[in-house]
Structure 1
Amino acid sequence: LLSRLAFANVIPLSLFLLSYVAGPWCWSPLSEAYGLRPFFVLGSLGLTAFLGASAAAPNYGALLVLRFFSGFFGAVPMTNSGALTGDIWHAKERGTAMSFYSVATFAGPALGPIIGSFAAYRLSWHWAFIIPCLFSAVLCIAVLFFLPEIYPPVLISRLARQLRKETGDERIRSALELAEMKSRGTPRVQRFRAEAWRLLGTPIVMISTEPIVAAVAAFASCCYALIYLLFEGYPVIFSEVHHLGPGYSSLPFLSILVGAIISVPVTLWYQKLYLRDVKREGRHTPEQRLPPALAGGPMIVVSFLWLGWGGIVPTLSGVLQGVGSVLIFRSMQTYLIDAYERNAASALASNVVARSIAGALFPLFAPALFHRLGVQWGCTLLAGCMFLLVPVPFLFERY
């Protein structure tokens, strides 16, 4: 019975992450065709609405449906924020922006379980959704009023329309407009199929035919999945083994946040080295983004061995987990953006889909893993999984 209850508690989280699989296929290619702003607005509105509805869910089945759609709309920033930074900042400055963005992506997973567990324990489970709904509403207002359209092809299309209006010259067309005009000569059904494939098939093609995208997805997915596995692993480890009470067993997540914050000066220091190398060589390559990931992988391996076998302040193992995870994500995302600038959103979408599948599946077996193998050997197994992927950035840099 207890195992069934534990599994039922994990399902809403896994379903939320699984909806990240559907979201990127939709949001990233559509953003590349029609711009980033409309979908940031739609995503923030949808996320706020479904989080609020989750707080009023009448039963478990309704909660699962609402969690799925919360993740579907919440996937917009996860998918498109990397491309947004690529459009705003030049390649030489992009690493600094991605350093702060990477910390933000781990601040949520670190603070969420703490806020949610204390809210559910001290107030009621409804407040575990009301609090993020209020936070999402504030962000929604900020996006609505302060986020302009910055996607270059869409801005060029707007400029082309303005120039046609001012000059009367109908020959002035952007690349997006020319592609749309070219498709008008085909039958409507065929045109719809071609457009759907162009928009929705790009991430599938990239992860299937680009070894770089597939390898980065595998590496980042393992790191991401291990973070979400800890959502279910920490309560087992710190509640059942170290006997912390409800809510307090989630406080070790703060160590991951501390590690993410510590990673900022590390990544900014490397950014200076990167700019020095670019200035010396007179050019920049995507492979120059990889060194932080070379250190990040071994850090995560050590963090799990420390958590399982260290015995001395196991909570602090999360600091290494946070530092290593941010180094990997920051490095891999900037690497993909530099390598696939025009199709960065689709490359990142492929990455989001792969890691979301892994993130949805790993928490499902976390309680059984630690109950059957024990904390020590369970952490050893997880460390071994990460160890197998540590060579990935080394291979990128070498070949």
Structure 2
Amino acid sequence: MRVSTANSYDNTIALLTRRQAELSAQQERVTTGMRVMKPSDDPVAATLAETAANRLSRTNADLRALEASKTSLQQAESGLAESGELMQKVRELLVTAGNATFTNSEREDVAKQLEGLREQLIAVANRTDNAGRTLYGGLGGSSTPFVDLYGPTGNGVQFGGQRGQAAAGNSSLPSALDGDAIWMRVPQGNGTFTVDLPNTNTGGVSTTMGQVTNAAALTGNDYDITFADVGGVMQYTVTNATTGTPVPGHVGQPYVANRSIEFDGMSLEMRGLPAAGDRVEVRPVTTTTDIFSVVQGAIDALRYGGANQSAHQAQAMARAITEVDAGHDRVLAARGRAGEWLNRADSLNDQMEGRAVDLKAEQSSLTELDMIKGLSDLETQRVGFEAAIKSYAQVQRLSLFQAIS
């Protein structure tokens, strides 16, 4: 087979063109620092790099969502701290209001201060984050979760959000807390039973909030403690109001102030001097109250002007203090939970940042160029290309006439 001069020329030009293209491609790789610029450069590496890029994109999205949740949680925790401080101020005022020497004007001054603190508590409960989302709306709902409807025809503060708490995920945290569970689920009385005085009392008897001495003996029934003057001696009788039967051992007993009485697993201490016909009502707790109603109840009690004003106010202050303490405990528990989530957010942030670094390194190893090797290959190809050009130029000048001259 004979190879023509034209065919040899075409092959040589094609080879030079291919080497020039390879040299240009290598120059581009060195300039960009990328070994794989299109899938055809290395299909396997390109596929793996795309997978790593997708995982990196999801990780970065999780990091942004986590940062947003963390910011909201920080603001919610700050709000809970402020709420706790307000409740502590409320308690201090309630203790102050229990001073028996206070005048009505002094009690009114305390009531006004309590009104201001109540409004501040509602404002904290309705606080929003930087994006305008409610911090204590639970699972969503109203943009103003706590609505104050207190008044002659109102029912106090109502929760308009959606009860419940979003669960924390492997890479996410809730951005809102359940305000209903924090402020609207305060145990009444001592958490097991309440002790109250009817407005019809005319004497000065009041009581402590009582305590449970034997949980197994509790009946869950209503009880009334009534007082009677028998021969100039004040006596008390404890009656199971649910069954209508007197409690054995507590029928017609002489009343002694500041002495505890115990019956059916409960005990309480009665103070002051009752009048004949006065009554103390002991009722089991069947529902919860809210911190806003507790404060409002104390305000109303301070403005009470009935016949047994001093006893009624002492009883109301004692109950309010007990319930404020219980409400404060719930705020502290919620704040502790928020603190745990913030710690978890820091841990998740570290984990995802580490994952992002690993994915970037994986993507880099698959697509980026080893610059030392790249420069070496570029120089090798450049020298080879220049040598090929010079050799071809020398061959082109050869002819038979030059050989025989």
TM-score normalised to structure 1 length = 0.29
Per residue, is there more helix in 1 or in 2? 1
TM-score normalised to structure 2 length = 0.29
Task: From the CA coordinates, give the structure whose radius of gyration is larger.
Answer: 2
Per residue, is there more strand in 1 or in 2? 2
